[in-house]
Amino acid sequence: MTTTILPTPRRMLCSCCGAETIGRQWHNRDTGWGLCVDCIDRCHRGETEESFSRLYGERGVHFDIQNIDKTNAYKGFTLIDIPSGMGGVLPAAISKDNGESLTVICLHEEYYPNWVLTVERSQVRPFSYKLNDAMKKTIDSRIPG
């Protein structure tokens, strides 16, 4: 089985209205340009699914990306990626939602395992790791038992 790790979603400009949005680059769009949620229906009007996908990419992958996927969870902890400070991302689990910020538990085995920190909601990215036994053990250690 081959696992594809997608690039981290990034800030882009909507090619329809110019608003800032979060997305992944689609090869058929100029660099830095994507599609915002408000323009999806307008741009989809009059296009077949095939032609719309050819123009804008795949919904949920290239545009209309939710930075916190609540379905990606383990024992009630939502799994996310957070910035590593080295240009990459680290796996983490949300332990508390503070509104604009989140208290998270780092799940990486080598870098800050079990470290609790606060990150801004805007820095959170979709979980891109495969949940392994070490990550599960870190989360399990946080559940009162």
User: How many Å apart are CA 119 and CA 98, to the nearest integer?
Assistant: 10
Region 114-127: what's the mean pLDDT? Answer: 84
Any idea which architecture 73-140 has in CATH?
A: Roll (2.30)
| Mean pLDDT of the residues in the chain | 85
User: How many Å apart are CA 56 and CA 66, to the nearest integer?
Assistant: 17
- pLDDT value for 31: 94
**Pairing, β 33-34 against β 10-14:** parallel
Write the pLDDT tens digit of every residue in 62-102.
888 766 666 688 998 989 988 887 778 889 999 988 777 88
Ranges of each domain in the chain: 10-56, 73-140
- Is residue 111 scored above 80 in pLDDT? no
What pTM did the predictor assign?
Answer: 0.55
User: How many Å apart are CA 88 and CA 139, to the nearest integer?
Assistant: 22
